[in-house]
Amino acid sequence: MRVLVTGGAGFIGSHVVEALAEHGHEPVVFDLRDGLDVRDATAVASALTDVDAVCHQAAMVGLGTGFGDAVEYVSRNDLGTAVLLAAMVEAGVRRLVLAGSMVVYGEGRYACEGHGVVRPGPRAVADLDAGRFEPRCPRCGEELTPGLVGEDAPADPRNVYATTKLAQEHLAAAWARATGGSAVSLRYHNVYGPGMPRDTPYAGVASFFRSALAHGRAPSVFEDGGQRRDFVHVRDVAAANVAALTAELRGGALTAYNTGSGEPHTVGAMARALADAYGGPEPVVTGEYRLGDVRHITADSSRLRAELGWKAEIGFEEGMREFATAKLRGE
């Protein structure tokens, strides 16, 4: 199968390209680093020649530097996706795998002892300033117990990036309905591994910690370090893309799959594991926060395992040991 991989020279995209080649497919790299912009309809149309499927990894990621980035996020992520999908219609390409994100959920799944499953609203600045980081039950104000979020949870994006990722899914779903094509959104959780970009406001927390250690600085852990995430290795994510690209899927709709390790860890625990593997220095918990961050978001990836036969193969400790000395992009 000949697969166009947008963002194919990027962090996750390059691993997808490698995994496709290892499984006997022909990946075609389309990347901004080569002067190929997914918003360029002519370039995209040319790249789709004789292509059987598209793996859409190209995106502007992370929280960025503030709301001033909103226009660029929408342009790259949503306009770019619309241009790509329109070109796929013309080229007759009917299979799409989209790099989705867990950020579309906002906060994860919470249960209140008295009121069952509830969805807390955005955390108040006054609470964050006072170090009150845990969301409370919106009905009684009591403490909540975090759990695993499933794909059927309602979307509730809490920042610009999250909003654009949800819009990408809606565009892909509309494309699938209009063409009868098959569309999959792999909702990545916290992806880490070799080749992560370093020293950029758009990188993930694992990259921030790894860059700090490489400079001899202690990783700075925001809030109290107790925020829960699902850290999934990039090679496992690449394998999920291959599975989605080759699966027998129904046409005319978009199917979303959480793509996580299934092993929740706190950000503080991740920082400690990485620092231990690197040889120090120890992380420092700062109490700082980023408005728009969520407290707990961890994946229930059972649907991906059951329907596509995929499972994460690289455990947390093993992955952190490798990542501690892996080369980052920009080094």
In this prediction, residues 156-182 reach a mean pLDDT of 96
The answer to whether the beta carbons of residues 171 and 82 sit under 8 Å apart is yes
* The pLDDT of residue 117: 96
Tens-digit pLDDT profile for residues 190-224: 999 999 988 776 678 999 999 999 999 999 999 99
pLDDT of residue 201: 66
What is the pLDDT, as a whole number, of residue 292? 79
Query: What's the whole-number average pLDDT of the chain?
Result: 95
pTM of the model: 0.94
Q: Which amino acids are annotated catalytic?
A: 161
Phi, psi of 209, deg, nearest 5: -65, -45
pLDDT of residue 202: 65
Please enumerate in sequence order all residues whose Cβ is within 8 A of that of 284, keeping only pairs 6 or more positions apart, or say none.
218, 219, 220, 221
pLDDT digits (tens, 9 = 90+) for 281-315: 999 999 999 887 899 999 899 999 999 999 999 99
pLDDT at 39 over 90: yes
The pLDDT assigned to 331 comes to: 64
- CA-to-CA distance for 244 and 246, rounded, in angstroms? 6
| CA–CA separation, 155 and 297 (whole Å) | 13
pLDDT in tens, 123-147: 999 999 999 999 999 999 999 999 9
Domain positions in the chain? 2-108+149-324
Q: What CATH number is given for 2-108+149-324 in this structure?
A: 3.40.50.720
User: Using one digit for the tens of pLDDT, what is the confidence trace for 86-124?
Assistant: 999 999 999 999 999 999 999 999 999 999 999 998 899
Residue 72 is predicted with a pLDDT of 96
Average pLDDT on 33-48 reads 97
> For residues 26 and 21, what is the distance between their CA atoms, to the nearest angstrom?
6
Helices (H), the chain: 11-22, 41-47, 70-73, 80-91, 125-129, 160-179, 205-214, 234-246, 267-278, 302-308, 316-325
Please state, as a whole number, how many other Cβ atoms lie within 10 Å of the Cβ of residue 247. 16
Report pLDDT digits (tens) over 267-285.
Answer: 999 999 999 999 999 999 9
**Distance from C-alpha of 7 to C-alpha of 38, rounded to nearest angstrom:** 9
